[in-house]
């Protein structure tokens, strides 16, 4: 069991957890309320802390609310980070914890309100956007590829994602009681 060692007055809270298929490590997104700190910690299979990802190279905080986390095929740590209820970013760091990029939407005017995040077999990053009610797809370097929404299944407000690498299915959960599976093919990739 993983237990937080909190100091009085500034306890850390777990927000998300991900078990790495690549390394077997556990990635944990955490928030300390009142002080406003957030971080991602990596634990090995022996439950030992091996890495803390919290700041960029100039000491700026990387995360506000790291709600969803995954790892890409190249080892990048991908975090769906909410600044507030109306916008946020997908924050990507290398497996060494070095900041790579943030994706905030496909136009400079758009405000991404990120939810669930996952990656596919091509190292694309998929993220639910509550603002546009779409699933955005970006490449491993943060370039926007497409936005996708399925009206055929009454999918409203996509909120969580999971990619099944074995069966090539994208599972999409909604804030309404619907979970849909989509066969991952060229038509889905092209929007």
- Domains observed in the chain: 12-189 (2.120.10.30)
Report d(CA 125, CA 104) in Å as an integer. Answer: 13
> Which tens digit of pLDDT belongs to each residue from 83-120?
866 689 999 999 999 999 999 998 877 889 999 999 99
Q: Which tops the pLDDT comparison, 171 or 175?
A: 171
Helices and strands in the chain: count of H runs, count of E runs = 1, 15
Q: How far is CA 85 from CA 67, 82, 102, in A?
A: 12, 7, 18
Residues in the chain: 191
Q: What is the pTM of this model?
A: 0.88
The predicted pLDDT at position 190 comes to: 46
Q: Give the C-alpha separation, 83 to 71, whole Å.
A: 21
* pLDDT tier, 183 (very low <50, low <70, confident <90, very high otherwise): confident
* 157: Cα separation from own chain's centroid: 17
Cα 30 from chain centre: 13
Residue pLDDT, tens place only, 50-90:
999 999 999 999 999 999 999 999 999 999 998 866 689 99
Tens of pLDDT along 153-170?
A: 556 678 889 999 888 888
């Amino acid at each position: 069991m993983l237990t937080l060692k909190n100091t009085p007055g500034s306890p850390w809270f777990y927000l998300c957890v991900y078990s790495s298929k690549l390394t077997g490590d556990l990635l944990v997104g955490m928030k300390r309320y009142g002080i406003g700190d957030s971080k991602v910690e990596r634990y090995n299979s022996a439950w030992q802390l091996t890495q803390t990802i919290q700041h960029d190279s100039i000491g700026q905080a990387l995360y506000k609310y790291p709600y969803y986390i995954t790892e890409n095929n190249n080892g990048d740590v991908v975090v769906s980070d909410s600044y507030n209820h109306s916008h946020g970013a997908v924050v990507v760091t290398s497996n060494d914890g070095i900041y790579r990029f943030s994706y905030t939407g496909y136009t400079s005017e758009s405000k991404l309100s990120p939810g669930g995040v996952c990656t596919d077999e091509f190292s694309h990053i998929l993220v639910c956007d509550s603002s546009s009610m779409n699933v955005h797809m970006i490449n491993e370097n943060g370039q926007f590829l497409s936005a996708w929404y399925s009206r055929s299944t009454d999918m409203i407000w996509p909120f969580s994602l999971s990619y099944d690498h074995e069966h090539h299915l994208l599972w999409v959960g909604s804030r309404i009681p619907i979970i849909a599976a989509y066969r991952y093919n060229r038509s889905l990739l092209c929007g």
